[in-house]
Structure 1
């Protein structure tokens, strides 16, 4: 998680001041059923964008169970976004899945598409306590599209860490870039 934080902040586009270990309440979002989901990192984009960002980091060296975990993650961010819409509290939060090993390679090109979000929600509908009607689960296609536009999928490697700015370099870069919020 900390390597992901360091890498993402070194892009100079993100500030991630909160971790689930230090500031759990800042990394927590409420799902439709009232339960809470805690993300590994929380922060925001710098500059014009200024949206909140919630990051889930998975330091795997092999595929493992990432495909199932990612599907659950998509269902959760749908539920979190739906809850925010329901309560008129949508802050345009974006969500990022960071991993060190690719997974679901046969579906890789589809993993951030709204159809994939929809299938994840359908698979986890019972756990999310989504209403079912005559035709089954009621899934909002527009919300699936919205979630897919707010979704980031990033693969890091240990070697990329060699490209990260040092804290001193990052401070100099941020002073010269003058990004809002830094």
Structure 2
């Protein structure tokens, strides 16, 4: 796929993910990497930065920040390896936030239009899968080495697993999305914003 077409598909995926997620009335996604890159950025353990496609927060009692990666793929592609890298990055940014005593209980969501790694699908959000991803990227993350790999915090892998979302959308689901006008009316009645 030409780079320009790929970029447009990526932008469309981010917009559609935002529209769908906000129409659930449980999320407000105020920033995209396209117009507010700084707000969509988190720092890893090694000081490098990771930019997510969307950032917002849950509405109501939960109020946690949410960082979203949107992958509008029509085929499997390289999603399996990209997802493993994504898990390692989530571990790293969460570890950095905890280390700096700045943990805001951020949650992370991978939104795709095509399932991937189906043989492991039921395990993709489990803590042992997160641990394996971190082990695979330990050198890139600059984790301390041990005799049998890298120093990985299992409690942190469990924490990341609890904060992880994996969602599959389809173009057809767009038919179920509330219009901006409908969403405003719903939000007035639900009062999630001020809860």
Normalised to the residue count of structure 1, the TM-score between the two structures is 0.98
Partner of 2:110: 97
How far is 1:134 from its partner? 3.0
Aligned length: 182
Q: 1:105-137 CA distances to partner (integer Å, 9 max, x unpaired)?
A: 000000000000000000000110101123320
Using the alignment, how far apart are the partners of 2:21 and 2:149 within structure 1? 40
Partner of 2:18: 5
2:86 matched to 1:40?
no
Q: 1:46-98 CA distances to partner (integer Å, 9 max, x unpaired)?
A: 00000000000000000000000000000000000000010000000000000
Pairwise CA RMSD of aligned residues? 0.9
Partner of 1:144: 157
Q: 1:23-54 CA distances to partner (integer Å, 9 max, x unpaired)?
A: 00100000000000000000000000000000
Using the alignment, how far apart are the partners of 1:93 and 1:27 within structure 2? 12
Secondary structure of 2:30's match? strand
2:64 to 51, 61, 66: 51
2:138 matched to 1:125?
yes
Secondary structure of 2:50's match? strand
Using the alignment, how far apart are the partners of 1:33 and 1:117 within structure 2? 19
**Contact (CA 8 Å) 2:135, 2:149: kept in 1 or not?**
no
Using the alignment, how far apart are the partners of 2:174 and 2:151 within structure 1? 43
Unaligned runs of 5+ in 1: none
**Structure 1 residue ranges (4+ consecutive) displaced by more than 4 angstroms after TM superposition:** none
How far is 1:181 from its partner? 4.8
Using the alignment, how far apart are the partners of 1:179 and 1:158 within structure 2? 27
